[in-house]
Amino acid sequence: MGTKGKAIVGVNVEELVTVLNKAYADEWLAYYQYWVGAKVASGRMRGIVAGELEEHANEELKHAQMLAERIITLGGTPLLKPEDLLKETNCGYAEPSDPSTKALLKQNINGEQCAIETYKKLLEFVKDKDPITYHVILEILKDEVEHEEDLESLLTDMS
Residues forming the site for Fe ion (CB under 5 A): 27, 60, 63, 144, 147
Cα angle at 146 between 31 and 157, to 5 degrees?
Answer: 95
CA atoms within 13 A on the CB side of 142: 6
Does 112 engage in binding with Mg ion (CB under 5 A)? no
The residue within the footprint of Mg ion, chosen from 24, 143, 150, 155 (CB under 5 A), is 150
The least CB distance from residue 2 to Fe ion, in Å, is: 28
CA atoms within 13 A on the CB side of 77: 4
Residue 144, contacted partner among Fe ion, Mg ion, none, CB below 5-8 A by kind? Fe ion
Nearer to Fe ion by Cβ, of 61 and 158: the residue is 61
Kindly list the distances between the CA atom of residue 19 and the CA atoms of 48, 62, 107, 116, in Å, as whole numbers in the listed order. 34, 18, 24, 15
The least CB distance from residue 89 to Mg ion, in Å, is: 22
The least CB distance from residue 120 to Fe ion, in Å, is: 13
